[in-house]
Amino acid sequence: MKIETVDFFYLAMPEITTAADGSQDALVVRVAAGGHVGWGECEAAPLPSIAAFVCPMSHGACQPVRNSVLGQRLDGQQDIIRIAAQIEYDSMDLLQATHTWSGIEMALWDLLGKARGEPVWKLLGYDRSCRKTPYASQLFGDTPQETLERGRRSRADGFRAVKFGWGPIGRGALNVDVDHLVAAREGLGADGILLVDVGQIFGEDVERASERLPALEAARATWLEEPFAASAYSEYAALAARSTVKMAGGEGAHNFHMARNLIDFGGIGYVQIDCGRIGGIGPAKRVADHARAKGVTYVNHTFTSNLALSASLQPYAGVAEATLCEFPVALQPLAVELTANHIERDGNGEITAPEAPGLGVEIDQAALDRYRVDIEISVGGRTLFSSRAGGDPGKAGMTAMDVAS
């Protein structure tokens, strides 16, 4: 097969707010090759990601991603690895390249799985898709009472594990954070699995983060996620050495090496990888393998559509001992309506990666039309990208012919 087209769909809600909610917009990718179509989703700002695909070449190490993708052969997994390596070399000074490639790479796995009639996790070498316990991923309330109510609601909805993130934590007085942690534990009940995400709020301040450790331990939190900036490996290690609560991180890793450093030098107990950031499913699987060898638990990271959720499950679908998975529950309508089918919890409240070929998730064309933002990127009077009307491959993106133009 030859990669014939790569199409981007920039989708957005009517209003975008400053809330830490990644489901307010989306960049969906469609790839066509050999009569098959695959879909992926980038976890990054849509416009810079599209620009990284089409931008004029600055120099030999700053080429647009399209130069390494369009017209390439796609006959197996090694081709995806080969294309990734070419992008890494030819676009090394184009820092958005990995985010752009992430969605394309997902789509290539989806397409390859459909062409072979197998789910992606089987292409990755797993013989089965193991059950995972989904944790309801949501924000802390504005007040401890709201946090309490959200915890109770999640338990009433059948979630045994809940992650509270961002919100007011770390932004004010210590006693406020303590009250939220007490409320979260009370809302979940004694047997609930409590996970805490503070969204890098402490920067590099180990002492300030340490002040929260007694409350986290009293609340019996399973992990403290992203206390520091993504590459603050020494700070992660220092806090981990003081805490009985395990550190979690990795969603900010945009290559395998960043994730490996968190594991090897950051002292984390859980590594959380977003396939829409790290370069796709392939490098995420590489992290899962490394984590397993190091005794660190792999967990997916996702806060958007079920397309991204399915992709995030594939790298560790067959790892039986890695049982937790992120499961967004407070999505914007855009993210819910994007897919025609959804990954549902079974009678035990668990989920598995789909058994259907590829990623096993179908895109709803009507949702693409409903939420699409029309854009055009032009340089020097030449149109590099146009989201033209229509849903056929090649009508809204780049074709192999564009490489030579």
Rounded to whole angstroms, what are the CA distances from 247 to 117, 145, 183, 233, 305? 39, 26, 21, 11, 26
Confidence at residue 364, expressed as pLDDT on a 0 to 100 scale: 96
Confidence at residue 389, expressed as pLDDT on a 0 to 100 scale: 39
* CATH architecture under which domain 3-118+362-403 falls: 2-Layer Sandwich (3.30)
pLDDT digits (tens, 9 = 90+) for 384-396: 999 873 444 334 4
Facing residues of 324 across strands? 133
Counting Cα atoms < 13 Å in the Cβ hemisphere of 221 gives 30
Q: What is the mean pLDDT of residues 240-256?
A: 96
Confidence at residue 401, expressed as pLDDT on a 0 to 100 scale: 37
Confidence at residue 392, expressed as pLDDT on a 0 to 100 scale: 43
Confidence at residue 16, expressed as pLDDT on a 0 to 100 scale: 85
**For the chain, what are the domain ranges?**
3-118+362-403, 123-337
Q: What is the mean pLDDT of the chain?
A: 93
Confidence at residue 311, expressed as pLDDT on a 0 to 100 scale: 98
| Distance, first Cα to last Cα, the chain | 22
Three-class SS state of 114: helix
Measured over the CA atoms of residue 345, residue 347, residue 352 and residue 357, the dihedral's sign is negative
Structure tokens that stand for 303 in this block: 């806060």
Is the pTM higher than 0.75? The answer reads: yes
pLDDT digits (tens, 9 = 90+) for 189-234: 999 999 999 999 999 999 999 999 999 999 999 999 999 999 999 9
Q: What is the mean pLDDT of residues 139-146?
A: 95
| C-alpha to C-alpha distance for 3 and 75, rounded to whole angstroms | 10
Contacts 24+ apart (CB under 8 A), 166-169: 166/20, 166/139, 166/140, 166/197, 166/198, 166/199, 166/201, 167/139, 167/140, 167/141, 167/142, 168/140, 168/142, 169/140, 169/196, 169/198, 169/201
Confidence at residue 250, expressed as pLDDT on a 0 to 100 scale: 96
Rounded to whole angstroms, what are the CA distances from 345 to 120, 160, 213, 237, 272? 20, 12, 33, 35, 21
Say how many C-beta atoms besides its own lie within 10 A of residue 73's C-beta: 14
Does pLDDT of 67 surpass 70? yes
Facing residues of 298 across strands? 271
Q: What is the mean pLDDT of residues 46-74?
A: 95
Measured over the CA atoms of residue 73, residue 395, residue 36 and residue 123, the dihedral's sign is positive
pLDDT digits (tens, 9 = 90+) for 99-121: 999 999 999 999 999 999 999 99
Say how many C-beta atoms besides its own lie within 10 A of residue 137's C-beta: 24
pLDDT digits (tens, 9 = 90+) for 268-302: 999 999 999 999 999 999 999 999 999 999 999 99
* CATH code of domain 123-337: 3.20.20.120
pLDDT digits (tens, 9 = 90+) for 313-366: 999 999 999 999 999 887 889 999 999 999 999 999 999 999 999 999 999 999
Say how many C-beta atoms besides its own lie within 10 A of residue 217's C-beta: 14
